[in-house]
Structure 1
């Protein structure tokens, strides 16, 4: 994609670093890379929800806690 290369060289020559970052980010937005970020956010939020659910189950059932983390109950 030569137009992207031309655009980034223009940014590099004529702009200071901070606006350069914002313009590059807007270029990424226009190239639909945001969908990958949305997917990553969805995966991370799903993992966090599962961890929260597991912690609630563990708090409600102490036996489950002993099954999942037996090393915490070992007396040394």
Structure 2
């Protein structure tokens, strides 16, 4: 993936969330992908969606690049 595509993705994140964020919450990731928060949380908990937790049981943090890595069609151009 080239750097231009990731910059464009950050622009899209800013358009939806109102700020450029490299680390997304479960809620933000759900909003950006039109998925339910519980689905995103479950994918994080099972390791299906790469995410980190600062402490066990704490909130998940998902890198914005997962938007394209996990949902490659989001980066497709018409």
**What TM-score does the superposition give when structure 2 sets the normalisation length?**
0.23
Instruction: Considering fraction of residues, name the structure with more helix.
Output: 1
Higher strand share: 2
* Higher CA-based Rg: 1
